[in-house]
Structure 1
Amino acid sequence: MASRKEMADFLQSVERRAFKQALYAVQDENNALDIVQDSMMKLADRYAHAPAAELPLLFQRILQNTIRDFYRRSKVRRFFITLFSALVPARQEDEGLDPLEVLNVESDETQTNPETWLARKEVSQLIEGAISLLPNRQREAFLLRYWEGLDVAETAEVMGCSQGSVKTHCSRATHTLATILQQKGVTL
């Protein structure tokens, strides 16, 4: 059984990676943050009694299901918005979003050579951009296997598919990422 401290430590350790996973999936920071918070609340509420060793798989399963729920709700919302938009007169709204993002600098990055730091940051941005281009299931399998470090069986359990499907998704994702990165001049 996980103690409160173990649960808090676990949630703190996965929050940044979970946010990136959700952001890749939904392409909106606010929605990604909502998804991660909702997933964390579900884990803490429903699985506070679970052993600490089971928390990573439980959380990944909850996170992926919450992302799928977001897609379902978005699809329904878009349907009704499209349906009723013909009934509402058009109006001009300024919904301009500031595209600039705040750069988070890790403490260990500030102590390295600035040229090395910049090169790593550029490659990181290229990789993130390439990951966001992957189809949903490939991106999900890739992030679970290589970012979260889950094995094939655990990834299959989280994704609700066979181990063969996980291997196929990961293989296709890595080939696609390698091709995209080579086109951008990143040598592997």
Structure 2
Amino acid sequence: MSGDRVCVGAIAGAYGVRGEVRLKSFCADATAIAGYAPLWLEDGSRSFAVTLGRAIPNGITALLGGVTSKEQADALRGVQLFADRDKLPNLPDDEFYHADLIGLSVFDTGGAELGQVRAVLNHGAGDLLEVFGSGLKTTLLLPFTRAVVPTVDLTARRIIADPPEGLIE
């Protein structure tokens, strides 16, 4: 997948029998996802127009262009949807798209490499950077706060972190 698209949502399954899907939006404003259409499959092989329905627990109902049956909607369960980067809003200097953080090298304040960002997780209490490195005994979960991650340099593709004492074994 090239860097010209960003994951903005996923299909959680069918909703009803007429081809509607349960759509999980990864956008700050969940309904903004429709404005980024067409939404693409990760490999770019197919795109969808999006018409949002109503809010439901953990998502929104939506009609996707070309999906007209429950079977077609069920076949898309778990599929991630991507928007063209140029349709997304520009972010302030202290905000980042998760896709831009994944793969960045992470260094401590002393310059020692800790590893690379494998994923950005959020379980409700704030973002965590999942860092994996050969020198780490286990995967490191860094709170993505200014205190713990004072520097993100997208141009140099690196992050400077100041992990709390005792976090790294």
Report the TM-score, using the length of structure 1 for normalisation: 0.28
Report the TM-score, using the length of structure 2 for normalisation: 0.30
Q: Identify the structure with the greater helix proportion.
A: 1
Greater relative contact order, per chain length (Cα 8 Å cut-off, separation 6+): 1
